[in-house]
Structures are given as C-alpha cells and as structure tokens.
C-alpha cells in the first residue's frame, strides 16, 4: 500500500510539473542535442527519485534518512531540469543562475550524505556536518559570483576551488575520512570510498568547465551544457545508488 501511494504521489507530481513546464508552445527539436540531454536527464532524475523513495522503507531505520535525501536530490534536480529544458527550448540559453539554483540545494545535500552514512552506523560529531555543509556553500557561492560577473572570474574560481579542496581534505584526511576508515563497517567504508571518488573525479568536470568556459574561453555554450547535464546525471545518480547499496547491505547483515 505504501508503495502504491508513493507511485501515485510521484505520478501526480510528474503530471503537475510537466504540465506547467510545457505550458509554453515551444517544442523540442529532434536535432537539438542540448535540449535532448536536458530531457533525458529530467526523466532519469525522476526515475531515480521514485526508486529511492520507494526503497527507503526496505532499509534499516538508521539508513532511511540517507536514502530519503538521495531521493530528494534526484527530485529537486528533476524539477530544475524540467524548467531549464523549457528555458533552453524557448530562448536557446541557460542562464547561470538557473543551474546554480539547482546546485545550491542538491550539492550541499550530497556532501551532507558523507555525515549521514557515518551517522547511520556510529556516533559522529555534528561539527562534521556543519564543516561539510559550509565548505560546499563556499564552493558554490564562489563559483556563482565569478560566473555571474559579480566578482572577477578568477577570484570566484579560487574561492570555489578552496571550498572543494577543503571538502576533499575532510573526506580523505580529516575527521570524516578517519571515521570511515576506522569505523569497522565494510559497507560504509566501501560506499564512502566510492562517494569520495565521485567528488574527486566526477566533480572535476565542473572546475574544468569553469576554466574552459569562462577563463580560457575554449569551449562553446552548447558543449558546456551537454557536459554539465551528463555530469550532473551520472554524479547525482551514482551517489544515490552507492548509498542505497550500502544501506541494503547493512540491512541484510542486521537481519542475520
């Protein structure tokens, strides 16, 4: 019954959002590869959101917050991508502010997941939560101010990189990294390691996009949009699936 209710809620949300998003008369051209990636990512994010929301009740209670947050990340991104797709189809542009509205919500939630999966199996200080959250906001705000022209682009890049580097320090060598390596939980250690790789390698595409798109000017807007769209989809979905897999493994072990 709970699963049927969640499916009904997701379906209604989908119909309501897409109806409002498609209120304009613009149509997605079959040769508009940027627009197609917006549409593919939108549908993928919706599928991810429904999957995680349905699966949250199949994992142990201590893991439900992490899985729920994974679903929220997907659903928030879905809403934003539907809107950005419509803007792209109508105007042929994706203003920086729209992409950052998505990132300012979903990226901090992703970073906080490092704290949440540790908290699912052991006691961890809340200061870790706040350090990760603040560092993610510094990274995003710096990048946005530079890309939007409120400060010099290079200064914005440096601020954003400082936030990202601090996050990498915290999850590799800082308190979060030490807690994961010494926690004695194989599933958490595996998930934490995979999430670290996503933040290190998967997220490297964003500063590279900033450099080539805004500092060096060596990449066109269309290509940058396609790269950002696909990177968002892979990074967000992979993040959630890693957490779900760890949750399922721990739940299975706890039932033995």
Structure confidence at residue 127 (pLDDT): 94
State mean pLDDT over 45-61: 92
pTM beyond 0.85: the answer is yes
> In this structure, how many other beta carbons lie within 10 angstroms of the beta carbon of residue 235?
20
State mean pLDDT over 92-101: 85
Q: Look over the chain and give the mean of its residue pLDDT values, rounded to a whole number.
A: 86
Q: Where are the domains of the chain?
A: 2-254
Residues 6 or more apart whose Cβ sits within 8 Å of residue 95: 87
Contact assessment for residue 177 and residue 171, using Cβ atoms and an 8 Å cutoff? yes
What CATH number belongs to 2-254? Answer: 1.20.1070.10
Give how far the C-alpha of residue 141 lies from the chain's centroid of Cα atoms, to the nearest Å: 16
> Is the pLDDT score of 23 beyond 50?
no
Over the stretch 77-91, which tens digit does the pLDDT of each residue have?
A: 999 999 898 889 888
Report d(CA 188, CA 65) in Å as an integer: 15
Report d(CA 62, CA 256) in Å as an integer: 17
> Is the pLDDT score of 6 beyond 80?
no
Report d(CA 73, CA 65) in Å as an integer: 12
> Is the pLDDT score of 16 beyond 60?
no
Size of the chain, expressed as the number of residues it contains: 256
Structure confidence at residue 91 (pLDDT): 87
Contact assessment for residue 175 and residue 237, using Cβ atoms and an 8 Å cutoff? no
Contact assessment for residue 148 and residue 97, using Cβ atoms and an 8 Å cutoff? yes
Over the stretch 147-206, which tens digit does the pLDDT of each residue have?
A: 888 999 999 999 999 999 999 999 999 999 999 988 778 888 999 999 999 999 999 988
């Amino acid at each position: 019954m709970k699963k049927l209710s969640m499916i009904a809620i997701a379906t209604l949300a989908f119909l309501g959002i897409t109806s409002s998003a498609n209120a304009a008369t613009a149509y997605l051209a079959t040769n508009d590869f940027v627009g197609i990636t917006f549409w593919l990512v939108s549908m993928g994010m919706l599928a991810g959101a429904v999957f995680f929301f349905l699966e949250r009740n199949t994992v142990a209670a201590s893991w439900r917050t992490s899985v729920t947050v994974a679903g929220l990340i997907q659903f928030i991104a879905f809403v934003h991508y539907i809107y950005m797709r419509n803007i792209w189809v109508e105007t042929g542009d994706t203003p920086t502010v729209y992409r950052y509205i998505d990132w300012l919500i979903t990226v901090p939630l992703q970073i906080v997941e490092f704290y949440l999966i540790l908290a699912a199996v052991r006691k961890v200080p809340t200061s870790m939560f706040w350090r990760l959250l603040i560092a993610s906001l510094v990274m995003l705000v710096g990048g946005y101010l530079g890309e939007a022209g409120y400060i010099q682009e290079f200064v914005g890049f440096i601020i954003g990189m400082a936030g990202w580097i601090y996050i990498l320090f915290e999850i590799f060598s800082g308190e979060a990294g030490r807690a994961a390596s010494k926690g004695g939980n194989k599933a958490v250690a595996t998930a934490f390691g995979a999430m670290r790789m996503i933040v290190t390698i998967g997220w490297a595409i964003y500063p590279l996009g900033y450099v080539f798109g805004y500092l060096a000017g060596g990449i066109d807007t269309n290509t940058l949009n396609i790269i950002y769209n696909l990177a968002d989809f892979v990074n967000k979905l992979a993040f959630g699936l890693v957490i779900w897999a760890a949750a399922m493994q721990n739940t299975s072990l706890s039932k033995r």
